[in-house]
Amino acid sequence: MDDSFTLSAIPLRPPNPSYHGKNGFDVGFVEQVDSTDKYALNLALDRDRVAQRILETKGRPIPRYIPYSPVYGMLTDGHLTVRESIKELQDEHLEDLKILYDYHAAEYIQDMKDFYVSRDDTVYLEEGERDQQIIAGYQRSSRYQQSLVTGSSLIDEFTELRHTYLARLLELQQRLQDLEKREAAAMRVQASKFPQSVFELNDSPKEVQQRVAKFLLSGKQGQEKMLDEFGWAWRQTEALMNEYKTNLIFAASMRSLDPNAQQRIPETPKFGSRQGHLGGDLGEGLRRIWDLQADLSDGTNVPYGVGARSYISSTFLVPHRSPAPEHPTHPIPPSSRRKRREPLSTDSDPNGRPYLVENLMLVPGGRYLLCTVQMGDSEGHDIAIWDLGYNSKQYLDPYPVKLIEDRELDSATPSQGGSKLVLATRPRFAKAPVLSKLISPDLSSRSLGHLLMDVDDFYWHVVRLTDNDILVWREPFFIFWDWKSGVGGRWEVSKGLNDNCKPYASKTSIVACATETAASGLGLPSGSIAALPDQPTVDQLPMSVIWPKFILPLEHNSQVVWMAATPEWQHKSSAELNHHICISVQRHGTQMRLYSVKTTGRYRS
């Protein structure tokens, strides 16, 4: 027995002869109906019910005026993609069919109720006359039963709905096929191009990045094969090949993108060894550690956050690991590691080794800790990641893994989607602070760009950091750099700020900064940024002067020790909503003062 089934289409019926010569239309509603003709009256009532049903179920309000945008050549409001339009059309057709079936089912039920309560008048007639009426009644009943199918408007209305639906659906499907063909052609053209810079590669789709990574990691024969396959030329690949040979961070990011490399299980880098540098197999090693998360914990997911820069360091003991070759090549499993009740102990431990740790920031997931670490009496600083080994039942000894050597972590912020961390780092013995993005869960990193500073410009700090831009304070300038748009600028403060200046910035203003005797709010100048090269220097940034919006003078002999501000100005019309600044000053001891500043520039303490 065949389990398949088919939907049989409704057979085509010849047109009704009443429509002949009328261009497919029946007699109009304006035709006068004879009040004595019962058939004409019933027909008029049916037409009235159909019209009322259409107005009730298919009625639509008059559309409002939607302005036309000449820039995009389409309506600026209510635009849907083709796939969304198809889905909306299918849902609308199902709703129309439901309404149609419900209406005709209600009509049929009402007819059956009327037939049930009707009275047989033939019982009151004479015997001979009654027989004739009974026969005529049977004939009318037979014709009525047949008219329920052939005379009903259900088939006509269903055919009209189906024809309208299929006509619109075929049009949308044809448009979707054309768009998919154009998109596929554009993707083939895009795939045939080899990116000419790191920024162009970062803006490319994931499959293009993986293809380029595979090319850079392949041997001579593999590269020649890919050149023939994708129609590349050697001169197109020279820029990224040179970048791959000279930029260790870019090389590490390419290794993390290689699909074949992700299938391998490399050796975990040793803490304190040179393999921890990004020039080694760090990305693969960190992926191995991340993959062992299921073995070391029960997968508890703790929301992560980013802490402010810590000016007071913390010291704790870290288990000392034996040097290679005794060093394990992977995190120690729970069964062979010594358990302790506290996660980070500060007690004396003959097997422990002190580390100076700053700027603690949790990696997405809550298990790994990102920080700046100084080992023992060494002057060097590194950015390290710690495997806390957190378990819902117990704590394990933290296991450190080197991430970036000879760099300090200055600031970090979660990306817009929350799956990445944007880091602002500074070198220990170099002149270029580097911005890199730490990606979870594989913990690979890639450089977003360099902003070259002078050699002696080490005393700067990040005021504001986002996915796209950074604002840095370096006396006497505020330096703005948008690496995604390739623009930037520097703004000199009209009134000098001290070294202890702790500014806070919103999207539109530097909301608070302090001298020794006053606090002020600065406005960002408009039109003071310009386009920059790929790796700009501070000297290439256009310079302008910014002036205070307001000044909060402190009492005599007062000195600012610490300050905080609300992160954004409150752009609301109500005058009761203020901007708040908290300042800690030294004057006959330490005092804490809270200021409420109105958006008009006035203030009160």
- What pLDDT does 340 receive? 34
User: 250 CB contacts (<8 Å, ≥6 apart)?
Assistant: 198, 243, 244, 446, 447
- pLDDT by residue (tens digit) across 96-121? 899 888 888 888 888 888 878 877 76
Q: Around Cβ 397, how many Cβ atoms within 10 Å?
A: 20
303-318 in b/e form (b: 16+ CB < 10 A) is ebebeeeeeeeeebbb
Beta pairing partners, 413: 422
Mean pLDDT of 177-202: 81
**325 pLDDT exceeds 70?**
no
Query: Alpha-carbon distance 412 to 404, whole Å?
Result: 15
The one-letter amino acid at 274: R
How does DSSP classify residue 276? G
| pLDDT above 60 (res 71) | no
Does 381 score more than 50 pLDDT? yes
Say whether pLDDT at 586 is over 80.
no
Please give the Cα distance from 46 to 51 (Å, whole number).
Answer: 9
d(CA 334, CA 336): 6
Output phi, psi for 69, to 5 deg: -100, 110
Angle between helix 206-217 and helix 234-246 axes, rounded to 10 deg: 80
Separation of alpha carbons 563 and 502, rounded Å: 7
> What is the structure's pLDDT at 436?
62
Task: Quote the CA–CA distance of 386 and 384 in Å, as a whole number.
Answer: 7
Tell me if residue 207 falls in helix, strand or coil: helix
How far apart, in Å, are the Cα atoms of 296 and each of 214, 270, 299, 334? 32, 19, 9, 6
Return the pLDDT at 183.
81
Does residue 158 contact residue 93 with C-beta atoms inside 8 Å? no
- pLDDT at site 443: 61
Beta strand spans in 82-179 (E) = none
Q: Which residues, including other chains, have CB under 8 Å from residue 162's CB and lie 6 or more apart?
A: none
Contact call for residues 453 and 433 (beta carbons, < 8 A) = yes
Q: Count CA atoms closer than 13 A to 108's CA, side-chain side.
A: 14
φ/ψ (deg, to 5) at 436: -130, 150
Q: Give 94's pLDDT tier (boundaries 50, 70, 90).
A: very high
In the numeric block, which tokens belong to residue 579?
């901007």
Residue 393's contacts (CB-CB under 8 Å, 6 or more residues apart) are 298
Q: Which of 40-49, 484-493, 559-568 bottoms out in mean pLDDT, i.e. has the lowest? A: 559-568
Helix runs in 192-279, H state only: 198-202, 206-217, 220-230, 234-246, 248-257, 259-263
Q: How confident is the model at residue 169 (pLDDT cuts 50, 70, 90)?
A: very high
Per-residue pLDDT, 261: 53
pLDDT for the residue numbered 274: 33
- Looking at residue 530, its amino acid is A
Which amino acid makes up residue 293?
A: Q
| Cβ(458)–Cβ(306) below 8 Å | no
CB 501 within 8 A of CB 461: no
Q: CA torsion angle for 315, 316, 317, 322 (degrees, to 10)?
A: -60
- pTM of the predicted model as reported, rounded to 2 decimal places: 0.40
The Cα–Cα gap between 454 and 475 comes to 13
Backbone torsions φ then ψ of 294, nearest 5 degrees: -70, -25
Residue 461 bridge partners (DSSP): 473
State what percent of residues in the chain have pLDDT above 70: 52
Are residues 302 and 317 in contact, defined by beta-carbon separation less than 8 angstroms?
no
Instruction: Look at 191 and 256; give whichever has higher pLDDT.
Output: 256
**78-88 mean pLDDT:** 75
Cα atoms in the 13 Å half-sphere on the side-chain side of 552: 30
Residue 184 pLDDT: 79
DSSP 559-573: EEEEEEE-SS----S
* Strand boundaries in 321-381, DSSP class E: 352-362, 368-375
Please check the confidence at residue 72 and state whether its pLDDT lies above 60: no
The contacts of residue 244 (CB under 8 Å, 6+ apart) are 216, 250, 251, 254
How many other CB atoms sit within 10 Å of the CB of residue 252?
23
Question: Among residues 494, 492, 472, which one has the least CA distance to residue 481?
Answer: 472
Mean pLDDT of 146-161: 75
Maximum pairwise Cα distance, the chain: 128
Determine the length of the chain: 605
Distance CA 225, CA 218 (A): 10
Q: For residue 38, is pLDDT > 70?
A: yes
**HSE of 378 in the Cβ direction (CA atoms, 13 Å)?**
16
Instruction: Give the mean model confidence (pLDDT) for residues 141-168.
Output: 79
Cα–Cα distance measured from residue 398 to residue 34, given in angstroms and rounded to the nearest whole number? 97
Rg of the chain's alpha carbons, rounded to an integer? Answer: 39
What is residue 165's predicted lDDT score, i.e. its pLDDT? 92
Q: What is the pLDDT of residues 435-468, one digit of tens each?
A: 666 655 556 677 777 777 654 555 677 888 887 7
- Rounded (5°) CA angle 310-311-316: 70
**Residue 561 three-state SS:** strand
Contact predicate 507/550, CB 8 Å = no
- Distance separating alpha carbons of residues 328 and 389, to the nearest angstrom: 16
Mean pLDDT over residues 309-314, rounded?
28
E strands in 428-468 = 434-439, 445-450, 461-465
Average pLDDT over residues 159-170: 89
- In this prediction, residue 143 carries a pLDDT of 76
Tokens encoding 15: 């047109």
Across the chain, mean pLDDT equals 66
Mean pLDDT over residues 558-573, rounded?
62
- Cα distance from N-terminal residue to C-terminal residue, the chain: 89
